[in-house]
Amino acid sequence: MIYCGIDWAERTHDVALVDDAGQLLAKRHITDDATGYKILLDTLAEHGDTDENPIPVALETSRGLLAAVLRTGRRQVFAINPMAAARYRDRHSVSRKKSDPGDALVLANILRTDMHAHRPLPQDSDLARAIAVLARAQQDATWNRQQIANQLRSLLREYYPAALAAVEPWKNGLCRPEAHAFLRLAPTPTRAARLTRIQLQAALKRAGRQRGIEVEAERLREVFRADWAHQPPLVEEALGKQMLALLVQLEAASQAADDLAEAVAEAFPQHPDADIYLSFPGLGVQLGARVLAEIGDDRERFADARGLNAYAGSSPITRASGKKSSVTRRWVKNDRLNHAGYLWAFSAITASPGAKAHYRRRRDDHGDWHAAAQRNLYNRMIGQLYHCLQHREPFDKPTAFPTDLAVAA
């Protein structure tokens, strides 16, 4: 067996090949372009790399063009955590010296000695990987939108509490187009107090509102003309300009999140597993796409449901030493999948009587707090999802939650 390790960098990469005895067979310094990739593939071919028997490769990243080139065919590519690679480095040198060629050699030796302890990158289909790109981008855009909205809310509290009172009855508050319309029209409370009914109605119409325009405009007018504390005029104007700059960022983030959501809604139903995901209570198109993005469609990625539960961070972890033992939640996990799992469990509680009964049983009989009961429900449903994906069958409520009929009665 030949093993390859590549120390990744932004512009150049160091490559090392070793045999079963740990003997260094070849080392290369390649550039991050098509020429460098060709040198890498030619070097692998010179040492016996074929389509039937490809040489396994260890990297410190799973993204980028280099990983995409190596993942073609049947080759196993291992993404080694940089922290794990640093621990292995101490096995070869106690002086704590570090070099890029030395790191490539360390990565190759990781595969030579402990390849069985590391998981190769999954062999997902191109459609699943495309959905993963869109779903993760939409998730990032949603988080970015919420972060900017929180910054805007914090700023408005300093000088413009009337704006927060105006958007309080609205769902999504500061992220709504109506909020953007009147904030752009009146960036300060002094200007907002001078707005007329006609101006407010026109702003609501520009934002796309079609019903209750007169009533809403009257409510906004009363809120803006109420008695509020004010900053000094010059400070208020400066804060208004800062608010408009944040508003531009919020509008851009909202538009990006909406555009990516449309792209996800277009791509996700094309996947063969989409019907299985959508059959589960609490999973819609966006949330189902996020779960698919992290699980993938490689059926051999996880040996059993326990592996998927540990990867999702839903199963507890036991720490035992001597007479002491503790069972706690997992800290090392896929954070994106774990975040989607909490949203999934929260939605399933209201969408499925069986899921709600399971949640209440964990709260009442076992004394779990809300987060622990929700995590236990997610752990059960992610295991059911693994079963359905392996057997290519949709979610079955009576089988998943036998108490469903009793609760409904």
Tell which wins on pLDDT, 321 or 252.
252
Quick: pLDDT tens for 64-76.
Answer: 888 888 988 888 9
Single pTM value for the model? 0.85
Quick: pLDDT tens for 312-369.
Answer: 988 888 888 888 888 788 888 889 999 999 999 999 999 998 899 999 999 998 888 9
- The residue whose two tokens read 């399933």 is 348
3-state SS assignment for residue 142: helix
Taking the CA of residue 278 as centre, how many other CA atoms within 13 Å lie in the half-sphere pointing to its CB? 13
Q: Which of 290, 174, 191 is nearest to 240 (CA)?
A: 191
* Residue percentage of the chain with pLDDT more than 90: 64
3-state SS assignment for residue 8: coil
* Statement: residue 35 has pLDDT above 70: yes
| Helix, strand, coil in percent for the chain, rounding step 5 | 60, 10, 30
Taking the CA of residue 367 as centre, how many other CA atoms within 13 Å lie in the half-sphere pointing to its CB? 0
In the chain, the N- to C-terminal Cα span, in Å, equals: 63
pLDDT for 315: 84
Backbone torsions φ then ψ of 168, nearest 5 degrees = -60, -40
Quick: pLDDT tens for 37-89.
Answer: 999 999 999 998 888 889 999 998 888 888 888 988 888 999 998 888 888 88
> What integer best gives the mean pLDDT of the chain?
90
pLDDT for 329: 81
Backbone torsions φ then ψ of 155, nearest 5 degrees = -70, -40
Tell which wins on pLDDT, 93 or 163.
163
DSSP assignments along 263-302, one per residue = HHHHHGGGSTTHHHHHTSTT--HHHHHHHHHHH-S-TTS-
pLDDT for 160: 94
